[in-house]
Amino acid sequence: MTPWGPIAASLAWAVVVAGLGGALTQLGSWYRELKRPPLQPPDWAFGPAWTVIFALTCIAGVIAWQIVPDGPWHGWIVCAFLVNGALNIGWNLLFFTLRRPDWALMEVAFLWLSIVIPMVAIAPVSAASALLLVPYAIWVGFASYLNAGIVRLNRPFETRSLGSRRP
């Protein structure tokens, strides 16, 4: 693979994850009417935060790809970032599209682990790559606090068919 291959692949995946996550994030009246916990940032702050996180994650992935020895490690790195992106998209689907912050709260634990496990695995060969993922882990930890607060302040969330919405 050319030196540009991992960079192009990383950027493409970040665009897919950000695009799908953004498409699934609808800040309509349902969201605006939710009671939110203390420390909730303004809605406009999430876009810049995620932009920085996605950029750092891309850099971390490319560095890890370049540092680790050829072989199964490369496949593992690709798999780890694909799983993380899928979980990132899944959280948006659960929280915003299905309007189930309670389900999203359960899923966010897996999202957080999908950041921390690669950090720990990559750290022995690339401390820089692992450190670049720290803001992402912190942000998802903070998002977990916000998600838990929304669940606590607004439950219960109904179980209905996927096509129906809570008024």
Render pLDDT for 84-109 as a digit per residue (tens, 0 to 9). Answer: 999 999 999 999 999 999 999 999 99
Q: Which two tokens stand for residue 125?
A: 């060969």
Sequence-ordered list of residues with C-beta below 8 angstroms from that of 6, at least 6 positions apart, any chain: 61, 62, 65, 66
Asked if the 4-35+42-154 domain carries CATH number 1.20.1260.100, the reply is: yes
Render pLDDT for 13-63 as a digit per residue (tens, 0 to 9). Answer: 999 999 999 899 988 899 999 999 999 999 899 999 999 999 999 999 899
Q: Which pLDDT score is estimated for 167?
A: 46
Q: Which residue has the higher pLDDT, 5 or 19?
A: 19
What are phi and psi for residue 36, nearest 5 degrees? Answer: -120, 150
CA–CA separation, 120 and 132 (whole Å): 12
Q: Which pLDDT score is estimated for 109?
A: 96
Of 75, 80, 20, nearest to 50 by C-alpha is 20
